[in-house]
Amino acid sequence: MWKKLALMGLILGLISVTTIPSAEAGSKTLLKALAIGGLLAALGPPPVFVSPAPQAYYPPPRQEYVPGHWEITREWVPGTWERVWVPDYRDRWGRRMAGHYESLQTPGQYEERRVWIEGYYRPY
């Protein structure tokens, strides 16, 4: 921008130095005036520089690292049913009992298991 202004001032100065001493009337003065106007029009308006609005700076949040660790959890394991074949046998009075199926149930229970908990970052 400063270069264009300096160039325009230099051109105007040279033209005014050459036109002031001569007091010519007529078409030459008009042509010089048109030439000056043409130069000013060729340069055009100075460029407008618009800077973007400053963006707000937000520092990153402070964080604390919580390391990974083992935890013991209690989990419920449901019971199961199972059909079991009972072969021939004699009862306590000596009678023979034929083989048959019996349904056996194992009850549900809690079991303790070790579980790894991953580490993570926690904000203050």
Task: Render pLDDT for 85-99 as a digit per residue (tens, 0 to 9).
Answer: 999 988 889 899 899
Task: Render pLDDT for 111-121 as a digit per residue (tens, 0 to 9).
Answer: 999 999 999 99
| Cβ neighbours of residue 85 closer than 8 Å, sequence gap 6 or more | 99, 100, 101
| Cβ neighbours of residue 103 closer than 8 Å, sequence gap 6 or more | 81, 82, 83, 84
Q: Which helix (H) or strand (E) holds 21?
A: none
What are the sequence ranges of the domains in the chain?
A: 2-43, 63-123
Least confident of 73-77, 89-93, 103-107: 89-93
Residue 84 has pLDDT above 90, yes or no: yes
Mean pLDDT for the stretch of residues 60-66: 87
Residue 73 has pLDDT above 80, yes or no: yes
